[in-house]
Chains A and B, each alone.
Chain A
Amino acid sequence: MADNADHIDGDDNEDVRAQQNLIKIKLKSSEGGIYECGLTAAKMSDLVKNMVESLGTDAVVTTEPIILGNEAVTDAALKKIIEWVEFHWDDPPVDHDFEDEKDRRNEELSHWDKQFIDVDDQALLFDVIAAANYMDIKGLVEVGAKHICSKIRGKSCQEVREMLKITNDFTAEEEDAIHKENAWIYAKD
């Protein structure tokens, strides 16, 4: 079965994808925790996908776990990420025949994704986003981005700084100047 997996590109064949996902590979966090993940799901990460493709599936399945060295890939973050890819691996592929990119960007998150990403621990949330970015899982980074953007909508700059713990590195004069430039934003409708 593993032999076949190397030859067939699972992208267009749903059965092959499902079958491949039964193969488990091991991912190792930067903290040393080792977690199992379905192959197709793990390949949603372009980083893992490239590694699997260059090493060959057999090697990945039978030997050492794939080490994810970025400090953001903590045990907790990796668990969350695996949860996400295991839920999403069988999403239908993007249809490039239609110009829907813009629609997709503006689309609201699904109920499941909303619940998934709404974590209280902001450090973990940022770990997940940074780790997903490092592992090159575009869909998950998008979920994180949409979540953050929906959270700051309607808030003032100061509130945003407090919420996201951003240091204000502008002087008061600089900030004033920007406010003046963008006065149209505060004009009444």
Chain B
Amino acid sequence: MTSLETIDDCKDEDRQQSKIYAKNSMDRFGDDLYEVLLSYLSLEDRFRCECVSKRFQRTVFGSVVDITLSDRFIQIFLNAKRSDVQMLATIAIKIQSFHYLTDYTNDTLFGNNLHTFVLRSHLVSFNHRWSAFVSQNQSLQCLVLKAYYFTNPIPVTEMCGQLSRLSQLRELKLGLVSQELLDGQMSATVNQCLRTIGVNCKRLKRLSLQLNSPTTAVLQLSLDSLRVYRRLKRLHITANVAIDDQLLDPLRHCKRLTHLELCLWRMKPNVLKDMHIKCPRLQCLLIDMAQHMKRLKTSLETTDDSNRDHIQHPMIYAKNSMDRFGDDLCALIVSYLSLEDRFRYECVSKQFQRTVFGSVVDITLNVRFIWRLMNAKRSDVQMLATIAIKCPKIETIDCRGIMTANESFIPEMLYLFRDYCRHLREIYCDLWENNDQSMRSLAPLITRIGGNVRALPDRQWLTLFYRLSHLRVDSIDKVFDKSNGKLLAKNLRNFVLLTHSQYYNHRWPAFVAANQCLQSLAVKSCHFVSKQSVREMCGQLSRLTQLRELTLGLTLRLTDGNNISVLNVFLRKIAANCKQLQRLSLEWSSLPNEPLFTLDSLRVFRQMKRFRLKTNAAIDDHLLEPLTHCKTLTHLELDLQRMTPNVLTDLHQYCPQLQYLYIHDMNSIIDTECLDQISRLPALRKFVIKRRRKTTFSDNTVQKFLSRSPKLVSIKIM
């Protein structure tokens, strides 16, 4: 045994030991040490020395974790081989302007997945670059924009809207230089921008602001929007404009602030009043008076309100009184109340008052709600303000589908909520006509548009909604610019198209390319007459690899093929490419004399969880058989005009996992025997049946059905 072992070892060691290096040769060092030594080379020198030896080549680049692209460096690259620059996409890029970030040959950006990005100056004319930059650098943690020159507030708000999509941002330095801005506009613009960023970039911990205005006009700067930066730890403000005495008041909401640096040219002592109340956790305060610097350190001891603690005595509550529950549990229970009931029961007790509004995170403004507000005697604004103040945690407001008569109130209401609810992040709305200004200023918050884009006077506006994720239009043509054909809606997650036909097929490639993250697509009514056009659309849709939900309303009247087999080819291709697809809804309208409708292609939808089928076609008893292969199917909805009871016969064998079954029983074909078949579904929990005639089953039948289905939770007969 031992001999065997030693032989083995020896062989290996022989090879290694054979190399003996001279004491004075650098070769004697191992790779590790080599790498440390070479890590002190400049980037250019590294490339220069790469071919010294193989070991150099192995180790010289390992320690490159950050590089600085100077003007000269970039010039060298631009003069040499352009495409190489892309390979150098790195962790820190310091460059002059977006100008250098753009490869003009193909109009793309170089920097991808950056962590830190420093931009020394930026001009309005490069604003359109932000969209792509932000999309490609979602992991950006630190952004420094040293000077942004602007004369008009709109581009600044646009830029900040884009920046607000950087959800990983930890540190932001923003230098804004306004030129020829009117009084007050600066303050309003800055606040709106900060608000947009603060609400969306939840991880932001360090903020540095530099606000310069060359005019000597009396600007009163206030920074009310700072209140939304609740996680802020360090803040730096430099400003040469006149400031409000209450400038630092909003910091009361930044409970975690530990470092504050102020460089205010026109600071008055009043600004610092009550600092100990506003920022109790401040550890470092630096005040730069432009002339002389004072460093003050507040004492780290915080004044604890310890004498308040022992006011709370243990209380004993009756067992059958809800008073026994703590605030947490009470909040959980009342969270199931409707919004109106919450207000109704606010005065039940102080505990109710404390807990009843905390869980309101989304509200729906419907006609009834607006109506009530208008009928109440106090002014709407005051009323709404009370609601907004009481429910400070609102994140989402849904105001889709409100009649035009009441439409004019909506922007005003939304402003109010925006100003009071600092968590507000998403607004779902229709598009309002004749509301240019409100649309622009609310745009960064709007994420879902339910109505029709027709209401939009200028389609270009679509680009204002940087964070738009849900959109519904009547034709795909509506998301393209009329004049230059550019796509206006990008990075959508949910898209509803009411009608489509082959005339608009040429729009798909651009749409699909720019909406690769689309998760849900609905084409409600789609009409084709040629095989080629079906194939075209299918080819494009199958590139949407993130698709989870697909709704298709199809009418095929092909002159050059069999409608049903083309449909099956279509579905097969979708299933093969869209691997994430879990929900399929199909509406098929058939000609009266068409052959039997079959859905053989369903067998390839292995991941499908929910399937809905609506058709007027003639079907045979084995229509649902392909579902045998969809092992994960849990929800099935059938709306078959020509259904026969036999379709359901073997359903329990096809879909043993089925939890939910909906049947639109138009011709009342579901009888006792049919129910008997359905009751064999082993996992069925909910059964909904919709019938045209008001015929119900006998108690006996229902009872029998219930007793046979082990897991049935509810039956609904509509």
Contacts and interface: CB of A to CB of B under 8 A. Distances in A.
Interface of A: 90, 92, 95, 97-98, 105, 110-112, 121-123, 126-127, 129-130, 133, 141-142, 144-146, 148-149, 152-153, 157, 160-161, 164-170, 174-175, 178-185, 187-189
A111 B713 contact: yes
A185 B372 contact: yes
A189 to B, nearest CB: 6
A165 B318 contact: yes
B321 interface: yes
A189 B350 contact: no
Contacts of A141: 329, 332
B372 A97 contact: no
* Most chain A Cβ neighbours within 10 Å, of B319, B335, B583: B319
A187 B345 contact: no
Contacts of A164: 321-322
Nearest to B710: A90
A189 B320 contact: no
B376 A183 contact: yes
A151 B371 CA distance: 27
Interface centre among A90, A92, A157, A166 (most CB of B within 10 A): A166
Contact of A133 (B332, B344, B345, B714): B332
Given A178-B353, A184-B376, A185-B344, A149 B713 contact: no
B137 to A, nearest CB: 27
A141 B320 CA distance: 17
Contact of A92 (B368, B377, B683): B683
A127 to B, nearest CB: 7
Contacts of A179: 347
Contact of B324 (A111, A112, A126, A174): A126
User: Which interface class (under 10, 10 to 19, 20 to 34, 35 or more) fits B?
Assistant: 35 or more
B341 A123 contact: no
B586 interface: no
Contact of A111 (B341, B375, B583, B714): B714
Contacts of B321: 126, 164-167
Given A149-B334, A187-B372, A189-B371, A170 B349 contact: yes
Contact of A126 (B320, B334, B345): B320
Nearest to B338: A153
Nearest to A159: B348
Nearest to A154: B341
Residue in B332, B371, B583, B659 whose Cβ sees the most chain A Cβ within 10 Å: B332
Interface in B353-372: 353, 368, 371-372
B715 to A, nearest CB: 9
Closest 9 CB pairs between A and B? Answer: A165-B321, A123-B319, A184-B376, A164-B322, A123-B320, A122-B320, A149-B336, A110-B713, A187-B375
A184 B683 contact: no
A145 B336 contact: yes
B373 interface: yes
Nearest to B549: A98
